[in-house]
Structure 1
Amino acid sequence: MTVRVVIQLLFILFTVGVSQSGFAADTVPVFVSIVPQKYFVQKIGKGLVDVQVMVQPGASPHTYEPKPGQMTALSKTRIYFAIGVSFEQVWLDKIAATNPHMKVVRTDQGIEKIPMAAHHHDDGDGEHEGNTEPVGHGILDPHIWLSPPLVKIQARSILNALQAIDPDHRSVYEANFNAFIAEITALDLDLQHIFNGQVGLRFMVFHPAWGYFAQAYGIQQVPIEVEGKDPKPSQLKEVIEHARENGIGVIFVQPQFSAKSAKVVAREIGGHVVYADPLAGDWLENLREVGRKFKAALR
């Protein structure tokens, strides 16, 4: 067999296995908004689905703009799983319009969202408060994937959509879903154990992504960021004073945001910066690890 023939055979095998859209053949082509959703869909769909992610690793779902190639790939997509992140407010209608046959599933339906946490502030009479008040302007927290109990709701939406689009594998999806729910329950119990006796204690973050996580386990996040922006010098001073008064020595940041302000606070309080990624690919192990980090930093 000549080299030319071998190359031709390899090309045929490749083109049979992968469509021009980038999806594998003989699978349900699916798009999700963020990386953790890929974890959820793969847990339920396993080898029956091919999942592409809109917001690429390292990018922020608050400001992301889809690439031309992604918009093209949507023409072959059967399901788009939305989750309510900021970029969807601008792009979801455009995404849906690229493919009238694509089903758009809003996995945040049925979830009661909480207001985004406010940064620490001076209430005017000398007493400091944490993040018990909303930012305002009607901003609701989109980070619902960081609460195990809420992920169970999202998983049910994913299951229903996959069963509807691919009824021949209904029982397979159901079995995978049940196994995933068992894993989430085990994680939830682990985190409850980690935070047992820690109710009301606080951890400091730059971006307030962990509100649902904190709510689930009775702890509080104290944000540095002010409505998506770095704090002004006077606001930063208040944050530093609050951290000193409460013995906070760890500032949590995420890779998608600048750590500049967090590093200033850490330097002033003699503390340090620790990364906690809300968009990590291995959702389950990431939450378990983040839980341990928060526990070690609680004050």
Structure 2
Amino acid sequence: MSLITRLLCPVLLAASLPVVAAEPEPLEVFVSLAPQQTFVEAIGGDRVEVHALVAPGESPHLFEPRPRQIAALAEADLFVRIGAPFEEGWLARLRAANPELPILDARQDIALRQLATDQDVHHDHDHGHDHHDGEIDSHIWTSPPLVRVMAGHLRDALGALDPAHAEQFAANHDRFVAELDALDTELHASLDGLTHRRFMVYHPAWGYFAATYGLEQVAIERAGKEPGARALAALIEQARHENVRLILVQPQLDPRAAERVAEAIGGRVEVVDPLSPEYFATLRRLATLLVAGEDR
């Protein structure tokens, strides 16, 4: 074989090989809270890279997006908002930085509740604001059936952004929904038979969970404020009257008011984090605590 032939053979061989299109980069998705990250990853699989703005342990009520987060978000493929307190203040800046950024509202097609009155209200998605007198409860993810609604919109949004993998998103969605349905059935089996339908919390984060399973949360804190002496005394009296022995707190907030109530009623404080990315384990633990409280 001549020198020229030996030099040309690799080139000719490479030219004869089929051209394989490079796999596109995963979609860059930002969400407000860690539970949302769990949902998006379940549906997007390896076709998404998801970032939660509020890190585990941080409070959404005190959170301010960092400049580097806003800069990264402006380059993202999708932002999924959920109604967290910090969103409204900087959403206009985000839209100005990237007018083309798709924004999915996780509250779409969900009847929202007011924290103060626990009444149902509806979100106006055309104009991007809520029609209500009190503060809207944004903790919609605490109800598995509502996460099911969110999951359908996530599947559709990801499929629109990456049509080549729409079938993969649909299959992942179906598996995730089956897990949600199994969790919902399990929680009903645990909670439907409870005699005491009220439970006490420090921060009213479990309203949608309570509504789904026919329960009622009694909150110590309202509108970010601890109760005064008279309100605290009334809560203690209510807890004694209803034989409440369990008070739920979340790790992002000061538990001292809850501990004072627990001491007065001879009860205990348990930490359950509604912002945990371990979604299924968190709701199962909550149900276990509520059932255990029934037996005391």
Scaled by the length of structure 1, what TM-score is found?
0.83
Cα 1:99/1:216, change in 2 over 3 Å? same
3-state SS of paired residue (2:137): coil
Q: Please say which of residues 168-177 and 65-74 is displaced more in the overlay.
A: 65-74
Distance in 2 separating the partners of 1:293 and 1:59:
24
Could you tell me whether the CA contact under 8 Å between 2:39 and 2:151 is conserved in 1?
yes
1:141-163 deviation per Cα after TM superposition (whole angstroms, max 9, x unaligned): 11100000000111111111100
Cα 1:196/1:70, change in 2 over 3 Å? same
Equivalent position amino acid for 2:251 in 1: P
Distance in 2 separating the partners of 1:279 and 1:113:
18
Equivalent position amino acid for 1:269 in 2: I
Q: Give, in angstroms, the shift of residue 100 of structure 1.
A: 2.1
Q: Does 1:159 align with 2:155?
A: yes
Equivalent position amino acid for 2:110 in 1: I
Could you tell me whether the CA contact under 8 Å between 1:199 and 1:217 is conserved in 2?
no
Cα 1:285/1:190, change in 2 over 3 Å? same
In our comparison, the structure showing a higher alpha carbon Rg is 2
3-state SS of paired residue (2:152): helix
Q: Give, in angstroms, the shift of residue 91 of structure 1.
A: 2.1
What is aligned with 1:103?
102
Q: Give, in angstroms, the shift of residue 289 of structure 1.
A: 1.4
What is aligned with 1:178?
174
Q: Give the number of equivalent residue pairs.
A: 262
Distance in 1 separating the partners of 2:90 and 2:257:
30
Could you tell me whether the CA contact under 8 Å between 1:201 and 1:220 is conserved in 2?
yes
Could you tell me whether the CA contact under 8 Å between 1:61 and 1:87 is conserved in 2?
yes
What is aligned with 1:116?
115
Equivalent position amino acid for 1:29 in 2: E
3-state SS of paired residue (1:113): strand
What is aligned with 1:26?
25
Superposition pairs for residues 119-134 of structure 1, below 5 Å?
Answer: none
Q: Give, in angstroms, the shift of residue 270 of structure 1.
A: 1.4
Q: Does 1:274 align with 2:236?
A: no
Q: Does 1:260 align with 2:263?
A: no
Could you tell me whether the CA contact under 8 Å between 1:36 and 1:279 is conserved in 2?
yes
Equivalent position amino acid for 2:63 in 1: Y
Q: Give, in angstroms, the shift of residue 133 of structure 1.
A: 11
1:225-272 deviation per Cα after TM superposition (whole angstroms, max 9, x unaligned): 122211011111111111111111111101111101001101111111
Give ranges in structure 2 of 5+ residues lacking alignment: 1-23, 122-131
Could you tell me whether the CA contact under 8 Å between 2:113 and 2:120 is conserved in 1?
no
Q: Give, in angstroms, the shift of residue 199 of structure 1.
A: 6.3
Cα 1:223/1:256, change in 2 over 3 Å? same
3-state SS of paired residue (1:294): helix
1:63-102 deviation per Cα after TM superposition (whole angstroms, max 9, x unaligned): 3100111112113200000111211121222223222231
Q: Give, in angstroms, the shift of residue 132 of structure 1.
A: 8.6
Give ranges in structure 1 of 5+ residues lacking alignment: 1-24, 119-130
Distance in 1 separating the partners of 2:52 and 2:175:
23
Distance in 2 separating the partners of 1:268 and 1:182:
43
Distance in 2 separating the partners of 1:83 and 1:62:
13
Superposition pairs for residues 29-68 of structure 1, below 5 Å?
Answer: 29-68=28-67
Aligned-residue identity in percent: 41
Could you tell me whether the CA contact under 8 Å between 2:42 and 2:173 is conserved in 1?
yes
Equivalent position amino acid for 1:39 in 2: T
What is aligned with 2:224?
228
Alignment root-mean-square deviation, CA: 2.0
Q: Give, in angstroms, the shift of residue 186 of structure 1.
A: 0.3
3-state SS of paired residue (2:208): helix
3-state SS of paired residue (2:113): coil
What is aligned with 2:146?
150
1:25-68 deviation per Cα after TM superposition (whole angstroms, max 9, x unaligned): 82100100000000000000011000011111111122310011
1:89-126 deviation per Cα after TM superposition (whole angstroms, max 9, x unaligned): 212222232222311110101100122156xxxxxxxx
1:171-197 deviation per Cα after TM superposition (whole angstroms, max 9, x unaligned): 000000000000000000000000122
What is aligned with 2:75?
76
What is aligned with 1:239?
235
3-state SS of paired residue (1:63): coil
Distance in 2 separating the partners of 1:45 and 1:277:
24
